[in-house]
Structure 1
Amino acid sequence: MSNLLINKAFKFRIYPTKEQETLIVKTIGCSRFVFNHFLAEWKDAYKETGKGLTYSACSAELTKLKKELVWLKEVDSIALQSSLKNLADAYTRFFKKENKAPRFKSKKNNLQSYTTKHTNGNIAIVENKIKLPKLGYVRFAKSRQVEGRIMSATIRRNPSGKYFVSILTETEVQPLEKTASSIGIDLGITDFAILSDGRKINNNKFTSRMEKKLKREQRKLSRRASNAKNNGIDLRDAKNYQKQKIKVARLHEKVMNQRNDFLHKLTTEIIKNHDIICLEDLNVKGMLRNHKLAKNISDVSWSGFVSKLEYKAKWYDKTIVKISRWFPSSQICSHCGHNSGKKSLDMREWICTNCKTHHDRDINASLNILNEGL
């Protein structure tokens, strides 16, 4: 089995000094300005000529813009070019009907970041510090070794006020040994996943467990916002409001980290132990329109689970098989294949009228998903 070249990201928390922090915020702001400026130009050009702009035309225009707006020279020039490249790529995907048209970036977005490319050793790791363009050496929490050739780095500021760097590398991975084992997975809400080997993976309900605390802190945030407004204070200058805002953001971040950790451990275990993984091709977007289920569905994060399974399968030479979402996995007897018609959701166990096999509804569904997938 030959090794496979893949792109892999390594994420670390960074601890910038006050000066570095200021420069990061400036770079994020300038990258956003460049994106929005050229998006407006792109839209104008499209209205007038029926054609958009090109990356190279915008790049030449950016050089002129820097002479007019001197403050653009204070930040990493590669980050500004990356912002342009992101815009051009977003339009390419839009014309291929892969995503919606690019929209203007807002200061109020939860996620604020910029990306810079690796050239001539401008991104490097030296002991417990990472060298980044314009920022110099930044202290970081080195939780593991970075493997492979560094390609780029994305610097991000979370709503909680913490800073992170995500280093993208090109590295070799070794395909895992074949196990000659296949598994069917039925995703649920009561249990997160039901596997065809009879296991039920507990739904940890990360958001629900934190709900009381979140509600309490969010109510506090609302009170502080209305107090500031009543006293004629701008929210940006209301210290108590800003402190509380960070507290709420940190709670949300904690939930997200717990969920991510759970999904990574589960997907790695499934990929290691099985060669073929069969699951339903779920329409999560459509399901989220159901207001009764939306909260529970976003809490279990099926999309995150499936995307992690997919890229890990690609890395380690395993196979993901998606079966049609219209396949009646809950209605068919996995033993004899008889379909005795639709069963209401509250029927958790049933006996096949044809072969008299007793079924647990969810395990039966996962067995049908496996059989159909194979």
Structure 2
Amino acid sequence: SGCSGTSADSEHLYSITHNIRLIEGGRYLKLPKVGVMRARQHKTIPDDWKLKSATVEHLKSGGYTATILFEYETQAPEPVRPVHIVGLDYASHGLYVSSDGEQADYPRFYRQMEPRLMREQRRLSHMVKGSGNWVKQKRRIAKLAAKVRNQRADFLHKTANRLAARYDCVGVEDLDMKDMSQSLALGKSTMDNGYGMFRTMLAYKLERQGKQLVTVDRFYPSSQLCSDCGYRNKDTKNLYIREWTCPDCGVWHDRDVNAATNIMHETRRLVQE
């Protein structure tokens, strides 16, 4: 949960005799030596959870974040028999396209903020390093960057929650996101959409419900195979081909939906094995 107050840049505090407490349903956080501070709690904490410790961090943007550790009893969920399976084909601009034809439509938060960030960076470059105005400008830029991170995380959490609630099993490609982020053409979009973070979120949200995330081998030719008859069209290696008709069975394909459907088929095969 996020909070505001006064603390060191990063300090770990242990809960002794309830000296760390959430008050009034999480509206306030009590910390030793600091006192009671207003807090913004990101999720509801059940009454039977035992608060163990808190780590308070002073952010570059000027705010404070308290990461709180709780202890509680849990049981492993019963495994869900995968009936409703979906495949996700990675899309650098929109995050993914699913085998059901759904597009994530990621809003590209960094791209939206980029002109403003560049403008503020130019202002910073004209200031005297270490001056009061320079420090204020650095904090202003940090706040804009933090806003982008928060918007991205919020969107990815909600999208992952929706998929985890709707499907028993989700299939994704085993992509090297670090390598893709270094691409001159797609690097910024890859860093912007946070697909690696999204896969991590999706994996643990599914696992909590007894469901699973299946990773398909990165060399599986999902974009080249006809999802209807299995014909392999090597011409589709060209990324500029966004739709094609199978020479063998005559079925028309949207490139991304076809790839996602093939990922779904391969996921079903791997699960059955």
**Shift, 1:176, TM fit:** 9.7
Listed one character per residue, the Cα deviations across residues 88-123 of structure 1 (whole Å, up to 9, x for unaligned) are xxxxxxxxxxxxxxxxxxxxxxxxx33333343232
What is residue 61 of structure 1 aligned with on the other side? none
**Shift, 1:130, TM fit:** 1.8
What is residue 55 of structure 1 aligned with on the other side? none
What is residue 86 of structure 2 aligned with on the other side? 183
**Shift, 1:175, TM fit:** 5.3
What is residue 138 of structure 1 aligned with on the other side? 37
Structural mapping, 1:297-308, within 5 Å? 297-308=190-201
CA distance in 1, matches of 2:241, 2:189: 20
CA distance in 1, matches of 2:75, 2:183: 41
On the 8 A contact 1:189/1:203 being kept in 2, the answer is no
Listed one character per residue, the Cα deviations across residues 140-188 of structure 1 (whole Å, up to 9, x for unaligned) are 2346532322232121111110011121223448959968311100111
Listed one character per residue, the Cα deviations across residues 303-327 of structure 1 (whole Å, up to 9, x for unaligned) are 1110110111121211110010111
CA distance in 2, matches of 1:176, 1:214: 47
TM-score (norm 1): 0.66
CA distance in 2, matches of 1:125, 1:201: 36
- The one-letter code sitting in structure 1 at the alignment partner of 2:96 is A
Tell me whether 1:282 sits opposite 2:175 in the alignment: yes
- The one-letter code sitting in structure 2 at the alignment partner of 1:140 is A
Pair 159,272 (structure 1): closer, same or farther in 2 beyond 3 Å = same
What is residue 203 of structure 2 aligned with on the other side? 310
Listed one character per residue, the Cα deviations across residues 55-97 of structure 1 (whole Å, up to 9, x for unaligned) are xxxxxxxxxxxxxxxxxxxxxxxxxxxxxxxxxxxxxxxxxxx
Indicate the percent of aligned positions where both proteins have the same amino acid.
Answer: 35
- The one-letter code sitting in structure 2 at the alignment partner of 1:15 is S
On the 8 A contact 2:96/2:104 being kept in 1, the answer is yes
Listed one character per residue, the Cα deviations across residues 175-204 of structure 1 (whole Å, up to 9, x for unaligned) are 599683111001111332100011112131
CA distance in 2, matches of 1:273, 1:145: 22
**SS class of match (2:122):** helix
Query: Higher mean Cα deviation, 317-326 or 176-185?
Result: 176-185
Question: Which has the larger helix fraction?
Answer: 1
What is residue 271 of structure 2 aligned with on the other side? none
Listed one character per residue, the Cα deviations across residues 193-238 of structure 1 (whole Å, up to 9, x for unaligned) are 10001111213111111111111111001111xxx25xxxxx1xx1
Pair 358,156 (structure 1): closer, same or farther in 2 beyond 3 Å = same
- The one-letter code sitting in structure 1 at the alignment partner of 2:169 is I
TM-score (norm 2): 0.88
Pair 211,269 (structure 1): closer, same or farther in 2 beyond 3 Å = same
In structure 1, which of residues 152, 156, 176 is the aligned counterpart of residue 57 of structure 2?
156
**SS class of match (1:363):** helix
Cα RMSD of the aligned pairs, angstroms, is 2.1
Tell me whether 1:335 sits opposite 2:234 in the alignment: no
Pair 190,138 (structure 1): closer, same or farther in 2 beyond 3 Å = closer
In structure 2, which of residues 140, 160, 173 is the aligned counterpart of residue 267 of structure 1?
160
CA distance in 1, matches of 2:234, 2:221: 9
In structure 2, which of residues 53, 70, 77 is the aligned counterpart of residue 169 of structure 1?
70
